[in-house]
Amino acid sequence: MLLFVRLVLLAIFAGQFTVPASAVAAPGFAQQPICWISGDDTLRLNDVAQRADAWTCDGSISDWGAARQLIRIDLRGRAADPATIRHAEFDRHEFEKLTATLIDENGESRSRTYGFGDTWLGASSLRSMIDLPEFDGQPIAVIFTLDGSQWPEALAEADLLAEPSVPPIAGLAHLLAALICGLLLAPIVFDFGYFRALREPFPLWHALFCAMAAVQTAAVSGLIPLVTAIDFASELDITYLSLDVMVAATLLFASNFIETDFVSRRGRAILLSLASLALASGLTTTFYPEWFGAWIDHFYFGAYLAILATYFAVLWRARESGSRMASYLILGFAPFSAIVVIQFASVTLLPQIGTFDETWPQNFALLFEVVATALGVADRFISIKHERDQARDEARSLEKLSERDELTGLRNRRSLDTRFDSLVAAGFHTIAVIDIDHFKPINDIFGHPYGDSVLVCVAAALRASDDKDLIAFRIGGEEFLLMLRGKDAAERAEARRRAITARTLATMDGLDRPITASMGLLDFTAVADDPDLDFWSLYTRADQLLYDAKCAGRNRTGRDALEWFVPQADGAASAVA
């Protein structure tokens, strides 16, 4: 009996002094949506859990600089069953340690502690997610113990979810972001091709814009921390600066892309200044945020509003002046600019409505801009290529006119001077000078128009369209010159000389006698490789042979071949037979 009494007393005392290891003193305050406590690192949840007077449940968290923050979110009265809550998603900010505690009405609790690296990305790089501790009961509150962070309100505004918005490693959102990055990078290949063809700078600026747009999309969509091990501070620097470099590249692209005739030098200078302003704003707000304090967002987005307003003013003026390319830039940059305006409004004018997550609107806006500007670059490439082709054709036409005899269509003396060396190098080693016999009486008797017709007929006889080894020139007046190559060059030249008589008899009406021609033919194959060889020395010798043919009775050929060549000196003949 005595033993039984002792056991009963022992059980009673044990019941009075034993507390479950997982229990926290039951909270002793009424239902409140959000409550918080700020303190130093000695602050303990067990010490304040049941002290309703220790919690602040109205207003917002004001002591951002406290070493430790306790944020209590009441789960009672929610539409969703608190027992189904398994995850928390909140704005992504760096911290040292985060402990999530689920607690029920009896004070039973379960806790789980995380470092910043233990969280995973939400739908964008702006959001973090954690798994809440497993809890078998019906929780009435979740309490976050946050150490080493200046952003406790991110947890006060956390979304408590039954299912994560994205998987812990990579979800559909990340795959879509990666696809967009690939599309953003694709035009770079064409940009380098355009630059190689045009040697204009605007394709390179467009390539830089595309690259920075891809980096920006990867950064805000959470791809960079998924594939790299960089720290959070470096990730933020990449996120901020990629946007600023992207905008600067857009402005530099515009200054070089718009047609020269439709934007003034002042307009281009303004665009260059805006690019410098975008970079300066980004660098100062990224690396020296303490200069701006709580006004940093106002300054940053305010600067961009000024940049965008000036940018569109310059482009609109260019468009009104007739620029075709300005429309591509206005259309392409409009969606991104609208997002900047919304961000400015959400930060400065309507902060009470809530934050604006620009991640996916911006991703699609950048994709739209890349597509629009890529089409513009292609259009500009085609336009410039067309202009250059047209200019090249005109140059060729002018060159053709300057090197062609206007009356006969044969190559003229200027063409012979410029092409002689290349013709010799190509094997044209026979020169024949041809002169129409008694041409002056034809002009005197029949008139100059008739004489011109004779010259055209002679040119047709000399021009052998099927002989690629013969080129005919009109030197002046009734004098022509042939350059030939091949072993039978002399025979083919003689055939062309005889063809003059046959063709004029067949085509010219009113002639009372045949039209003949004399020719001086010189074969200089033996001296073709002489470095001192020059056209006028050869022409002088061929002209002498022509003179000999004239003196011998006309309608014949004076022919010779050079065995060696002596450079001309003091006006003496330089060709020696």
d(CA 181, CA 183): 5
Q: What is the CATH number of the domain that holds 468?
A: 3.30.70.270
Residues sharing a CB contact under 8 Å with residue 81, sequence separation 6 or more, in sequence order: none
Q: Point out the domain boundary residue: 105, 140, 161.
A: 161
Q: What is the CATH number of the domain that holds 267?
A: 1.20.1070
d(CA 408, CA 424): 24
Residues 436 and 362 in one domain: no
d(CA 96, CA 378): 50
Residues 57 and 106 in one domain: yes
> Is 475 within a domain?
yes
Nearest by Cα to 126 from 81, 159, 93, 82: 93
d(CA 82, CA 555): 119
Residues 449 and 519 in one domain: yes
Residues 176 and 157 in one domain: no
DSSP per-residue codes, 37-75: EEE-TT--HHHHTT-GGG-B-SS----TT-SEEEEEEE-
> Is 9 within a domain?
no
Per-residue pLDDT tens digits for 341-353? 988 888 777 655 5
Residues 75 and 139 in one domain: yes
> Is 223 within a domain?
yes
pLDDT for 169 beyond 50: yes
Q: What is the CATH number of the domain that holds 71?
A: 2.60.40
Spell 489-509 as b/e; 16+ CB within 10 A means b.
bbebbbebbbbbbebbeeebe
Q: What is the predicted pLDDT for the residue at 185?
A: 94
Residues 343 and 424 in one domain: no
Q: 97: which strand partners? A: 147
Q: Point out the domain boundary residue: 358, 390, 422.
A: 390
Domain that holds residue 255: 172-390
Phi, psi of 10 (to 5 degrees): -60, -40
**What are the residue numbers of the active site?**
478
> Is 184 within a domain?
yes
Residues 484 and 422 in one domain: yes
pLDDT for 525 beyond 80: yes
**CA dihedral of 484, 487, 491, 493, whole degrees rounded to 10:** 0
d(CA 55, CA 36): 6
> Is 399 within a domain?
no
Read off the pLDDT band of 573 (50, 70, 90): very low
Residues 93 and 194 in one domain: no
> Is 401 within a domain?
no
> Is 447 within a domain?
yes
Token output for 255: 């200054």
Q: What is the predicted pLDDT for the residue at 168?
A: 62
DSSP per-residue codes, 118-154: G-EE-SSTTEEEEEPPP-SS-EEEEEEEEES-S-THH
C-alpha to C-alpha distances, 232 to 57, 219, 295, 353, 507, nearest whole angstrom? 32, 11, 23, 28, 92
Residues 177 and 63 in one domain: no
Quote the DSSP letter at residue 559.
Answer: E
Q: Point out the domain boundary residue: 113, 134, 161.
A: 161
**CA dihedral of 24, 25, 28, 32, whole degrees rounded to 10:** -10
Which stretch of DSSP H or E encloses residue 396? helix 359-402
Phi, psi of 272 (to 5 degrees): -65, -40
Over residues 405-410, mean pLDDT: 90
Q: What is the predicted pLDDT for the residue at 4?
A: 41
Residues 524 and 562 in one domain: yes
> Is 275 within a domain?
yes
Nearest by Cα to 160 from 136, 137, 140: 140
Please identify which residue in the block is written with the tokens 């080693």. 429
Phi, psi of 430 (to 5 degrees): -130, 130
Q: What is the predicted pLDDT for the residue at 350?
A: 67
Residues 137 and 259 in one domain: no
Look at the chain and report how many structural domains it folds into: 3
d(CA 492, CA 526): 20
In the chain, helix, strand, coil percent, each to 5? Answer: 55, 15, 30
pLDDT for 207 beyond 60: yes
Q: What is the predicted pLDDT for the residue at 2?
A: 40
Per-residue pLDDT tens digits for 436-471? 999 999 998 899 999 999 999 999 999 866 788 999
C-alpha to C-alpha distances, 509 to 216, 258, 260, 457, 504, nearest whole angstrom? 83, 62, 59, 12, 9
Mean pLDDT of the chain: 84
What's CA 184's distance to the chain center, in Å? 9
Residues 156 and 176 in one domain: no
